[in-house]
Structure 1
Amino acid sequence: MSEPDNVSERVSEHQNLTDNALRHPVDLTIKNDIAYVTLNRPEKLNALDLATFKSLASIGRTLRKNTHIRGVILQGAGTDFCSGIDVKSLMKNSSAMLTLLKKWLPGSANLAQQVSTNWRKIPVPVIAVIQGRCWGGGLQIALGADFRYVSADATLAVMESKWGLIPDMAGNMVLREIMPKDQALRLAMCAEPISAHQAMEMNLITQVCEAPLQEAQHLLSQLTHKSPDALAAIKRLYTRNWQSPDWKMLMMETWYQIKIITGKNQRRAVKKQLDPDNAKPYQPRKRW
């Protein structure tokens, strides 16, 4: 009996290794016009290797061009959202680190930063659904989302200073929008995980949820009843101009409003309010 059992165990182990090798580091599934982007290295706590960075950046660019999707849910497979950088894979590989950090222009986003900034460029609501660990690079990715729905048992950390580094994956742009500077400094300097409820008190996240995925889906189900052009314009206005001087905010409000009212979706939004039984479905959004 022992030999068949051992053979079975070896076959099972080989199959697991094969499955892991073939598995994409990030999965993209679109269902009912909602894109589900799933970090898919659960055996590594969804730690970020170079392939994961490249896949996330590519998916972000693809979704930005998709005019049919109405929302994005960003999540992690298994028990954790993302435990941060895969240290063994990246930090001991100088060529991989250079691939992450190189950029054509000083003010453009490199590969390490695109996995955060790309979510801000997609003209639909992006919700990060967070459970377990959301540390280091994982938190930087989640900060690029518009909303962060977090399970009560999750922990979050700006972890880079633990490795003698600074946070450099573009999450700093969001921290300056949502947190006082002293709180952001403490997070970045101490590199200590905080609880979901502490993160909520610090305004780092949107909501602590018993079932964050269901809450995210519920929010998107509400937002799909709104004009996709209105939502795209609101996101672009707030993301690009939240820190702008008054004159620029006023100018962009007017420009985006003109762009909206010259399209069909605004008229269809009015029809849905005044005569819902005869209203037509929204058209795919314009380019924003």
Structure 2
Amino acid sequence: MEKDLIKLSIEHGIAHVCLNRPSKINALSFEMFKAIDKVIKRLAADKSVNAVVLSGAEGNFCSGLDVKSVANSPSKAMKLLFKWLPGNANLAQRVSLGWQRLPIPVIAVLEGCCYGGGMQIALGADIRIASSNCKLSIMEAKWGLVPDMAGLVALRQIMPKDKALMLTYTADILTAAQALELGMITQISDTPYDAAVELANKIMRTSPDANAAIKLSINRNWTGSIRSLLARESLSQIRLLMGKNRVIAAIRQTKNPDKAYRARQSWWS
């Protein structure tokens, strides 16, 4: 059994999560799916974590599904896909959708390969910073499969339908520059990990409750009705006005820029 498939460290409120299977270019085995899901659940329960930097070990993000590993065990394939209700997320979908559902900003660092399941995980992040040599692909069609890890939740928000269809039909491999032009990534950096950490530290200067409310509001309302948007904005603002961190944010702006925020309120989870 492989160990330490996911490395996690938490420093000054920033969780550093690293996909750690470099001998397989961080390909997704069943055990790795379980490890990612476990880390997401742990971070959701930790109110002291206010940002996540998600990366892959040794210069690659993730080469996608370890097809041989999963195909050799039908029981593992079934466990990946099983769900009690069709509308629920199964294990394969939670490793992408889980990052979106965290009430914490998530920044993905994309280097080397970001293919298939790796691209689906990256799409679950709020922000994607890629190295100039990164290669990206929605690759499932190459293996006769449909993308089924919930990456479409984000893809439909960041890209026109015709371009999403083109990339998914063809399984083309994109350069970072091409991905940036299409909106699949947020920015390109020669030092993407450092850029992600710098951004995470900048985010840490704002209220964790406000960031949780912003993420919830944008994700839920990006394609929702105007009525639901107005309702959620009003409810979030009332909750923020009632919280300690709104007062602390004002103090940081006017009196003491180093005053520490309180832990994130539980209602955003």
* Residue segments in structure 2 that go unaligned for 5+ positions in a row: none
Contact 2:53 2:200 in 1 (8 A): no
Matches within 5 A, 1:9-24: 23-24=3-4
d(CA) in 2 for partners of 1:213 and 1:31? 15
**1:26 match:** 6
The alignment partner of 2:59 has SS state of coil
1:251 aligns with 2:243: no
d(CA) in 2 for partners of 1:225 and 1:35? 15
C-alpha deviation, 1:26, in angstroms: 1.0
**1:226 match:** 206
Contact 2:123 2:151 in 1 (8 A): yes
d(CA) in 2 for partners of 1:190 and 1:91? 23
The alignment partner of 1:27 has SS state of strand
**2:86 match:** 106
Which of 242, 263, 266 is residue 284 of structure 1 equivalent to? Answer: 263
Which of 106, 113, 123 is residue 143 of structure 1 equivalent to? Answer: 123
**1:122 match:** 102
RMSD: 1.0
C-alpha deviation, 1:79, in angstroms: 2.3
d(CA) in 2 for partners of 1:183 and 1:102? 30
Matches within 5 A, 1:107-256: 107-256=87-236
Q: Deviations over 1:156-189 (max 9, x none)?
A: 0001011110000000111100000011001111
Q: Deviations over 1:255-276 (max 9, x none)?
A: 0000000011001111111112
Percent of pairs identical after alignment?
A: 45
C-alpha deviation, 1:242, in angstroms: 1.0
C-alpha deviation, 1:280, in angstroms: 3.2
Contact 2:116 2:138 in 1 (8 A): yes
Deviating beyond 3 angstroms after TM superposition, the runs of 4 or more aligned structure 1 residues are: none
Q: Could you say which structure has the larger radius of gyration?
A: 1
d(CA) in 1 for partners of 2:74 and 2:173? 28
The AA in structure 2 aligned to 1:282 is: Y
Provide the TM-score with structure 2 as the length reference: 0.97
